[in-house]
Amino acid sequence: MLYTNDSEHPTKNVPTSKAERAAFVLSDEEILALSRWACVIERHYGQPMDIEWAKDGQTNEMFIVQARPETVQSRREASAVKTYHIRKKGRQLLAGVSVGEAVASGRVCVIENPSEMGRFIDGAILVTRTTDPDWVPIMRRASAIVTDHGRRTSHAAIVSRELGLPAIVGAARATHLLHNEQEVTVCCAEGREGFVYEGIADYEVEDIDFDSIPTTRTKVMLNLANPAAAFRWWRLPADGVGLARGLGRIAAVQYPHPVVVRMSDFKTNEYANLIGGAEFEPKEENPMLGFRGASRYCSPRYREGFALECRAIRRLREEMGFRNVVVMIPFCRSAKEADRVLEVMAENGIRRGEAGLEVYVMCEIPSNVILAKAFAQRFDGFSIGSNDLTQLTLGVDRDSAELAELFDEQDEAVRWMIQNVITQAHRVGADVGLCGQAPSDQPEFAGFLVECGIDSMSVSPDSFIAVKRRVATAEETVLSDLAE
């Protein structure tokens, strides 16, 4: 969309190619320039600022066109956060781009034009095709907003953030599928995608005061699967990220706390499900124990793919400056395989110990425990993958419904494995952490890990507070027992 000199038609749409639509508007240099200008402006005014910029389409010059005090984020209490959890919900009616992190229920009010403002009921859920500045008076009266069109930078998204309202933009056909007086729930608490559910959902709102969260010797870290989760949970007082499946934005949000990035660990059947994947992947009877993890990195069949992963790590650490990134190698079966992986990494420019780079290994195979000393001499630490370690120790398929009762992370054999690897690793100065749901789901398991002297636990963000408190209680018990 472009502005024109025609007073009757001030804007016009211009066709763009697919490549143009996918391209970034600004270069890295322009983004850095805007960032520096923003810092200067905030220092001048001495407070958070809402800044708008423009770029001349002919000269490519950058301009700051407006700067005013920021009124949403700065009003939030720095030491507290509000979280929303859906307990019970109705049928999903729509999905779109999520704006905000809240949940709201109410009756739908479909508005076609701002001139219909008189029939809008305060607290209703505004549903419309799109918005512009004329809509702001109505938006202020809504409890949530749903639009047919729009993206994260659309007018509806920007104003919703300013007003602190949950909104779903780009929910195609919302004005056709929803009707006036219909009871729905707008949920923006489930990640990048927002949902409209039928009926009034049962949800809870929790106010978390960070000052009430205890400090612990044992680090409690987060498992983050994507950058959206990183931006949603960055305010939690976590000790870093213990398992990350994304890269740059997660590292940036957590800096300078460590972010442990697990290298790819897809199995052959998972690769085969990708478009064209079946043409390249071998068919395996048991992919869980097949061509995955470290063995894939060392294979000529995946050499180029692993080189790209290494290049991404190099760029993060060397070009972007995120030296807080720690590399983790999954499913490494033997010391020989460990040596080969480290060699391949070095060939691709990332060497353990160089510029402070730490390399961890997943402890998810019995051989990782049996040869813990040998692995500890090659890696800086272990991250226990309790799911795989349990199934391989007990010989139980974790996905089997028939054997579900036998899959127990608290089994005596699994506990022995965990305690043993912690003891052996600590003897040679290597750290040990655990990433998995067990500490979240089983309070006594968190206590067991503390008793073993584990260095860190990595849990899902929504269970962070509960696990942190359990760890603090367990540490107090251990200290009390020692005192006696």
Query: Which of 109, 310, 332, 435 does the annotation list as catalytic?
Result: 435
pLDDT band for position 41 (cuts 50, 70, 90):
very high
| Pairwise CA distance, residues 379 & 20, whole Å | 45
pLDDT of residue 340: 95
Q: How many domains does the chain have?
A: 3
pLDDT of residue 111: 94
For 394, the token pair is 């007990």
pLDDT of residue 170: 92
* 34 falls within a domain: yes
pLDDT of residue 258: 79
Do residue 290 and residue 413 come from a single domain?
yes
pLDDT at 20 over 90: no
The percentage of residues in the chain with a pLDDT greater than 90, rounded to a whole number, is 43
Do residue 233 and residue 320 come from a single domain?
yes
pLDDT tens digits along 131-188: 988 898 899 999 999 999 988 778 898 888 878 889 999 998 999 999 999 999 999 9
* 147 falls within a domain: yes
Q: What are phi and psi of 120, to 5 degrees?
A: -75, 135
* 97 falls within a domain: yes
* 474 falls within a domain: yes
pLDDT band for position 76 (cuts 50, 70, 90):
low
pLDDT at 349 over 60: yes
* 39 falls within a domain: yes
Per-residue pLDDT, averaged over 224-235, amounts to 65
* 76 falls within a domain: no
Q: What is the CATH number of the domain that holds 254?
A: 3.20.20.60
pLDDT band for position 417 (cuts 50, 70, 90):
very high
Residue 80 Cα distances to 70, 209, 255, 264, angstroms: 19, 4, 20, 35
Do residue 90 and residue 146 come from a single domain?
yes
pLDDT at 248 over 60: no
Do residue 197 and residue 236 come from a single domain?
no
Residue 368 in contact with residue 400, Cβ under 8 Å? no
pLDDT at 408 over 60: yes
Do residue 297 and residue 317 come from a single domain?
yes
Do residue 245 and residue 282 come from a single domain?
yes
* 75 falls within a domain: no
Q: Which of 49, 70, 91 is the last residue of a domain?
A: 70
Domain residue limits at 311: 213-483
**Torsion (CA) 149, 154, 159, 161 in degrees, nearest 10:** 100
The set of residues, in sequence order, having a beta carbon less than 8 Å from that of 300 and lying 6+ positions away, is: none
Q: Which of 25, 42, 70 is the last residue of a domain?
A: 70
Residue 125 Cα distances to 165, 178, 328, 340, angstroms: 10, 11, 46, 58
Do residue 361 and residue 230 come from a single domain?
yes
Average pLDDT taken over every residue of the chain? 86
Indicate if 44 belongs to the active site.
no
For the entire predicted model, the pTM comes to: 0.67
Do residue 55 and residue 27 come from a single domain?
yes
Rg (CA), the chain: 26
Q: Tell me 131's DSSP state.
A: -
Q: Which of 207, 229, 245 is the last residue of a domain?
A: 207
Per-residue pLDDT, averaged over 40-50, amounts to 89
Per-residue pLDDT, averaged over 291-311, amounts to 90
Lowest mean pLDDT among 157-171, 330-344, 408-422: 157-171
Do residue 191 and residue 105 come from a single domain?
yes
Query: Which of 149, 155, 257, 426 does the annotation list as catalytic?
Result: 155
Q: What is the CATH number of the domain that holds 186?
A: 3.50.30.10
Indicate if 435 belongs to the active site.
yes
pLDDT tens digits along 182-217: 999 999 988 778 999 999 999 988 877 777 888 899
pLDDT at 413 over 60: yes
